[in-house]
């Protein structure tokens, strides 16, 4: 093989696009830019995601803003190697760990991990222990004391809000002492009966007065000449002359 026979592997190299070299080159006249317009100008320099002026796809897509877990528990971690500074037989508590500067804050609780080894026995009070740490502490003769944490107080759900609230004993006794209201359909008291009787009597009196006035008016109308004219004369029977 000679030097002028060297060729790149097929498909790894493409010849440069030669524009404006006549009609026979395939890229003559408009040089692949087409007729007039934005793409035919020399100053055209548009981004790859340009969509003609409308909002780009990268802007239309919702962005991931992360997620914050409201119920995440962050524990203060302490290794066994750091607990070896306490003298033998002492009871290690969260207050002592804060005073010694091993932890800044208790947070959700203190968790003891089994990194390193413990040289002497201790009584360690913490909220959680790893299986390795528990095994190493008990192997030396130390004791593990777990601090119980009360369950977190969470807001009531909609189902819990709809449930009736328990009535305290003091309120129930006051309700029993107060007189109860009459239920629907119950018979009214005597005073109410008398009041209703008086109202009915008054209504009857007014009705009688109105009836008497109407009767007087009707008698007057009958005696008037207009009423006589309105009365029709009796028709003659058949066969009789009028």
Dihedrals phi, psi of 204, to nearest 5 degrees: -65, -40
Answer whether residue 7 shows pLDDT above 80.
Answer: yes
Average pLDDT over residues 30-50: 89
126 CB neighbour count, 10 Å cutoff: 23
Above 90 in pLDDT, residue 184? no
User: Which two three-digit tokens encode residue 209?
Assistant: 């007065």
| Structure-model confidence comparison of residues 66 and 204, the more confident one | 66
pLDDT tens for 70-127 read 888 899 999 998 998 898 888 999 999 999 999 888 888 999 999 888 888 899 999 9
Query: How much is the CA Rg of the chain, to the nearest whole Å?
Result: 54
**Residue 242 pLDDT greater than 50, yes or no:** no
Residue 183 has pLDDT above 70, yes or no: no
Per-residue pLDDT tens for 144-164? 999 987 776 666 666 656 666
Domains by residue range for the chain, with CATH: 76-146 (3.100.10.10)
How high is the pLDDT of residue 146?
A: 92
Token pair listed for 222: 């009958």
Cα dihedral: 195, 201, 206, 209 (round 10): -160
CA-CA distance, 127 to 197, in Å (whole number)? 80
Q: Point out the least confidently predicted range of 29-43, 119-133, 176-190, 208-222.
A: 208-222
């Amino acid at each position: 093989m000679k030097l002028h026979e060297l060729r790149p592997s097929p498909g790894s190299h493409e010849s440069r696009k030669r524009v404006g070299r006549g009609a026979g080159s395939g890229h003559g006249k408009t040089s692949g830019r087409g007729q007039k317009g934005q793409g035919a100008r020399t100053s055209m320099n548009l981004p790859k995601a340009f969509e003609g002026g409308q909002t780009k796809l990268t802007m239309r897509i919702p962005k991931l803003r992360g997620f914050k877990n409201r119920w995440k528990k962050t524990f203060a971690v302490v290794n066994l190697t750091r607990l070896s500074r306490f003298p033998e037989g002492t009871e290690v508590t969260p207050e002592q760990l804060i005073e010694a500067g091993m932890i800044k804050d208790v947070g959700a609780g203190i968790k003891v991990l089994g990194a390193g080894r413990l040289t002497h026995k201790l009584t360690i009070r913490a909220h959680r222990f790893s299986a390795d740490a528990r095994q190493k502490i008990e192997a030396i003769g130390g004791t593990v004391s777990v601090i119980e944490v009360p369950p977190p107080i969470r807001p009531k759900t909609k189902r819990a809000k709809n449930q009736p609230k328990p009535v305290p004993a003091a309120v129930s006794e006051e309700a029993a002492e107060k007189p109860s209201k009459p239920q629907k359909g119950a018979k009214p008291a005597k005073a109410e009966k008398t009041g209703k009787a008086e109202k009915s009597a008054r209504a009857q009196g007014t009705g009688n007065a109105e009836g008497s006035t109407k009767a007087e008016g009707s008698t007057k109308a009958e005696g008037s000449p207009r009423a006589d004219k309105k009365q029709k004369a009796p028709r003659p029977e058949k066969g009789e002359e009028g």
